[in-house]
C-alpha cells in the first residue's frame, strides 16, 4: 500500500467515525470511533498491510508535535489557571498518584489470578 493509500485509509476511517458520531450525537470523538473501526478491520483480517504500518508509524513518531498548537491555547487560559491553581495542582498530582497505585494493585491481583488458571508461558 502506498503512503497516499494508507493516508486515505486513515482519513476514510476518521470520516466514517465522524459521520457516526454526528448521526447518533455521540460524545466519543469521531477519530476515536475511526480508530475502533480500523482496529476491528485489522482483527477481522488477521493482519495489516506494511504500507499502512509505515505511514501510521510516521504519524505516531511525530504525535507529540501535533499536540503543540492546541497546547499553545493555554495562553488564553492564564486567568483561569491563576484563579484555580490550587484545585488544578492538587487534583492533578493526588489523582495521578492514587490512580497509579490503585491500577497497579488491581492489575497485580488480577494477573495473579489469571496466571494461576492458564498454563505457564514459555
Partner 1 sequence: MNDVHNLWVYLSASPLLHLTLTLIAYQFGEWLSRRTRRHPLCNPVLIAIVVLVAVLKLTDTDYKNYFSGAQFVHFLLGPATVALAIPLYHAYEHIRSSAAAIVVALVSGCLFAALSAIAVGYACGGSMVTLLSLAPKSATTPIAMGVADAIGGSASLTAILVILTGIFGAMLSTWVLDLARVKDNRARGFATGLAAHGIGTAYKLRVNQVAGAFAGLAMGLNGFATAALVPILVHWLRL
* Near partner 1 in 57-96, by CB under 8 A: 57, 59-60, 62-77, 80-81, 84, 86-88, 90-96
Contacting residue, 4, 19, 22, 28, with partner 1 by CB under 8 A = 28
In 3D, which of 19, 6, 90, 87 has the Cα closest to residue 53?
A: 6
User: What is the rounded CA–CA span in Å between residue 68 and residue 55?
Assistant: 21
Q: Does the CA dihedral 95-99-101-106 come out positive or negative?
A: positive
Under rule CB under 8 A, residue 36 binds partner 1: yes
Binding of residue 3 to partner 1 (CB under 8 A):
no
Q: Please, what is the minimum distance in Å from the beta carbon of residue 109 to partner 1?
A: 8
Amino acid at each position: 500500500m502506498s503512503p497516499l493509500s494508507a493516508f486515505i485509509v486513515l482519513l476514510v476511517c476518521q470520516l466514517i467515525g465522524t459521520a457516526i458520531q454526528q448521526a447518533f450525537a455521540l460524545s466519543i470523538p469521531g477519530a476515536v470511533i475511526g480508530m475502533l473501526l480500523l482496529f476491528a478491520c485489522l482483527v477481522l483480517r488477521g493482519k495489516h498491510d506494511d504500507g499502512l504500518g509505515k505511514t501510521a508509524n510516521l504519524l505516531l513518531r511525530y504525535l507529540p508535535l501535533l499536540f503543540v498548537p492546541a497546547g499553545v491555547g493555554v495562553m488564553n487560559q492564564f486567568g483561569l489557571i491563576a484563579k484555580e491553581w490550587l484545585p488544578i495542582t492538587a487534583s492533578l498530582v493526588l489523582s495521578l498518584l492514587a490512580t497509579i497505585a490503585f491500577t497497579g494493585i488491581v492489575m497485580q491481583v488480577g494477573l495473579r489470578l489469571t496466571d494461576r488458571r492458564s498454563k505457564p508461558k514459555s
